[in-house]
Structure 1
């Protein structure tokens, strides 16, 4: 190994400090030793998440911390990308035995057949994997209410407001966490000029309640026809979900659910969304805090 390669390897492992390396490489796998989430049969709401071989252990921390602190047993559907192999599938099915763990090889032909009357949707699903969060989520959704859930979430306490609006059958808005800033594939004013409804700022598709009635292939096909909607390789997904939600009726979750980039965990927040720029804090801060709270011990 060259000195340059060695330096890069050490930088990747220890670049965010020894604490990060310890919690990422030693503590993080301990979630595999915890007991399964045996009951996820409440179809008043269904959690949908898209994950990969790189992220699925982080997802297990997120899901198990949510189920543990919320005391809910909402239904679960885990969508797997092509990197998820037999070993990862087996682990996910073991830890979430009532969940619907969907392999890529199963989803692809079914969803593509379903989309065949929608050429724009078909093209996007073929070319942009992240569009699973629109098309596959809707195809496999077995509830009138869906909880969007990313692989980089951790929960530290019961998310009272989120649970309350999910369980309130009179609540009829889509509600998601607020992003650091507005991240759409087009600027908000341009989007507003292209549609006949208000488009809210800072919509983040990583966590939130979405009503099935807000989503349809007809809508997605019409939004994909908007000029410039695919300008960004991944923000388009969040833009599609934001447009569908805003047309239906949408608001942001309270500030304690917002994405933020600070280093210190806000003790008033029941959860944190560890987006890419702060992913290392998911280990050195988030998993450290959960371990300190006795989370692993309580699930073992």
Structure 2
């Protein structure tokens, strides 16, 4: 116990006052802003998974998205099994027309829907992030889904992404590019077993067509040697990459790529993955506070 307390004290001492102020003072102020209402447009439906550590960040993420796009796409927020009641209450207040889907309501229904797909069911039973792979599709009320993570911030209109949403003739999924290819199994193994896959797909942000979320395909993909034993968070990303590649997939432009060095500059958004999470507070929220906290 004493060792853990000393470690925590040293960790806090290494954090800059700028980080502490942005994360602990600025970030909670989003709870004092007006709710986002009218998210009822099922031309596309936004689905996101959140957790105890991310739900406050998610409020920033979603409010920046709706503010910059000016759209009113329907919204479904999926909580992980440990999402606290206070977070659920806050999310329902700030996004009053959204569906906040709790695991107590979702788990059994989704597992029942996977009864004919034993690999899918086993993954859903053992990997929380597989909520993205299976629950999103199960509860989707549109033929197109906006794939979304809790660590995105939008600083300008994401025009290239919206153009793809507006073009109904464009029947391909579109994903943000990762720093590098990060799949549960290496690409050579995947291709050696007869599956094509687009490199560098990241499952944090994108446009996904319902028809690509095919359980028969996912059951097949999970049979690739090593898939079920792959890195915890890479399995769902690989499933999106494989299913998208079979359906038809492309990467969003370079401005949407995950990056770990430098600041956001004039890019319309940034995906603040774990390695740059502190910049979500010191760069992103500090930059957006004038626009979002004034509402």
TM-score normalised by L of structure 1: 0.95
SS of aligned partner of 2:49: strand
CA distance 1:14–1:38, change in 2 (3 Å) = farther
Query: Paired residue for 1:13?
Result: 12
Q: Deviations over 1:33-70 (max 9, x none)?
A: 11011110000000010000110000000000000011
SS of aligned partner of 2:129: helix
Query: Paired residue for 1:171?
Result: 170
Residue 190 of structure 1: CA displacement?
A: 1.6
Query: Paired residue for 1:295?
Result: 292
Query: Paired residue for 1:101?
Result: 100
Q: How many matched pairs? A: 294
Query: Paired residue for 2:129?
Result: 130
Query: Paired residue for 2:280?
Result: 282
* Unmatched segments (≥5 aa) in structure 2: none
Q: Deviations over 1:78-111 (max 9, x none)?
A: 0001111221111111111111100010011111
The within-5 A match list for 1:25-64 is 25-64=24-63
User: What RMSD, in angstroms, separates the aligned Cα atoms of the two structures?
Assistant: 1.3
Residue 194 of structure 1: CA displacement?
A: 1.6
1:270 to 2:268 alignment: yes
CA distance 1:210–1:284, change in 2 (3 Å) = same
Query: 2:170 and 2:29 mapped to 1: Cα distance?
Result: 38
Kept after mapping to 2: 8 A contact 1:14/1:21: no
Query: 1:109 and 1:13 mapped to 2: Cα distance?
Result: 41
CA distance 1:256–1:61, change in 2 (3 Å) = same
Query: 1:239 and 1:14 mapped to 2: Cα distance?
Result: 38
Residue 112 of structure 1: CA displacement?
A: 0.9
Query: Paired residue for 1:228?
Result: 226
Query: 1:58 and 1:15 mapped to 2: Cα distance?
Result: 22
Kept after mapping to 2: 8 A contact 1:14/1:20: no
